[in-house]
Amino acid sequence: MDTTNLAGKRVLVRSDLNVPLDGDTITDAGRIDASAPTLRALADAGARVIVMAHLGRPGGKPDDRYSLRPVAARLGTAIGKPVSFAGDTVGPEAHRAARDLDDGDIVLLENLRFNPGETAKDDAERSAFAEKLAQLADVYVSDGFGVVHRKQASVYDIARLLPSRAGSLVEKEVNVLSTLTKNPDRPYVVVLGGSKVSDKLGVIDNLLSRADALLIGGGMVFTFLAARGHAVGKSLLESDQLDAVRGYLDKAEREGVELILPTDIEMAASFAADAEHETARVEALEDTAAGSDAIGLDIGPESAQAFAEKIESGRTVFWNGPMGVFEFDAFSAGTKAVAQALADVTAKGDGSLTVVGGGDSAAAVRTLGFADDRFGHISTGGGASLEFLEGKELPGLEVLED
């Protein structure tokens, strides 16, 4: 990120600070920590930094449950200097805070989504809010990669009103994700999980012709297993995607891509942390105590080992989506095995690249006790990362290039 000629200027930074809260307690500060380097660099360059972000979905009106106030102190810890807080976004507190900043100071504005103009579908309403934001600053920096796929006032419209540039986090995300689609070192292994095939159709379609191996787990695997003729009990199944999945299976075979499905599944009597469960072969998922009422909640131990071995053979590995219900200890082993395998690839220190997709995957590695630095890159943008890998145009990036 270029920080030249910013000393003494008010710089409005769109960060992604949409972190999970339990009351006032931040339960995963990953996005805060990822945002800190850009803000620190701007402050060190003498800029007067005004940070804007959103939290949750408050519906266009103030709601204390979604206040960013608890984030300000944690953000200051991550940056290494105090961050003040303005109790509104474009009101008197924000204007006073912006006016009173000295070189190197940082202030965080209240939740952008307390104003309906931030996410408005109407261009004029959105632009009007962006104009109010623009009055606070001289320069705009886009550093919230998790929102660049949204055509929102603080992401898209603001960049058309102020001199604009990408922050270091956005630059890093684009560079890493471009590697996954354009020139990955091989073997290139893609691991996809999560609940629904329909959430990953574009990624599968775009990466299937680029990857050497595609591993499928999580709830989405049952649609693949059903497409191969297996009964899956009460496991998550998208019947309307069966034809699409059969097409991907055929395409993988035609193009010589190794599409690997689990050979065993942890089948449970119910969706519960303490549910009775047993390991079943994919050919006999209903041959358990729960019979046709059984529900698959994790890949089995044989599959976890096979997935880990395939991952460890890769020089570029992209993973998006847990292998099971990792929030339940009894069904976290598959996700933990995948995370450990990626960490082992990183630990080789031979230049191999491991990328953990945002959202549930990022939450999973931290929940399971893996430090961020055990992976080459943890994306901050779940939906944005997937849309980038699908090859879609992202409004928040396109506007910076115009």
113 marked as part of a ligand binding site: yes
Residue 388: closest CA among 163, 172, 123, 156? 172
16 marked as part of a ligand binding site: yes
55 marked as part of a ligand binding site: yes
361 marked as part of a ligand binding site: yes
Kindly tell me the burial class for residue 59, based on how many C-beta atoms sit within 10 Å of its own C-beta (0-12, 13-18, 19 or more). Answer: exposed
Query: Would you call 31 a catalytic residue per the annotation?
Result: yes
296 marked as part of a ligand binding site: yes
25-26 and 21-22 beta bridge pairing: antiparallel
The catalytically annotated residue of 359, 376, 381, 382 is 359
373 marked as part of a ligand binding site: no
31 marked as part of a ligand binding site: yes
194 marked as part of a ligand binding site: no
Query: Would you call 61 a catalytic residue per the annotation?
Result: no
Query: Would you call 48 a catalytic residue per the annotation?
Result: no
360 marked as part of a ligand binding site: yes
210 marked as part of a ligand binding site: no
What is the Cα Rg of the chain in Å?
23
171 marked as part of a ligand binding site: no
CA distance readout (Å), 199 to 40, 142, 364, 382: 35, 26, 18, 11
The catalytically annotated residue of 81, 132, 196, 251 is 196
99 marked as part of a ligand binding site: no
193 marked as part of a ligand binding site: no
CA distance readout (Å), 215 to 6, 134, 211, 307: 46, 46, 10, 7
Alpha-carbon distance of 370 to 375, in angstroms, equals 9
Other Cβ atoms less than 10 A from the Cβ of 389: the count is 25
Contact present, 311 and 188 (Cβ < 8 Å): no
358 marked as part of a ligand binding site: yes
CA distance readout (Å), 136 to 18, 89, 337: 22, 10, 48
| Helix residue ranges per DSSP H, 20-164 | 30-44, 69-79, 92-100, 123-134
- Provide the residue type at 107 as one letter: V
Query: Would you call 359 a catalytic residue per the annotation?
Result: yes
The catalytically annotated residue of 14, 31, 234, 310 is 31
Q: Which residues are catalytic?
A: 31, 196, 359, 383
Annotated binding residues for ATP, written as ranges, equal 200, 296, 327, 358-361
Annotated binding residues, written as ranges, equal 16-18, 31, 54-57, 113, 150, 200, 296, 327, 358-361
Annotated binding residues for substrate, written as ranges, equal 16-18, 31, 54-57, 113, 150
Annotated binding residues for (2R)-3-phosphoglycerate, written as ranges, equal 31, 113, 150
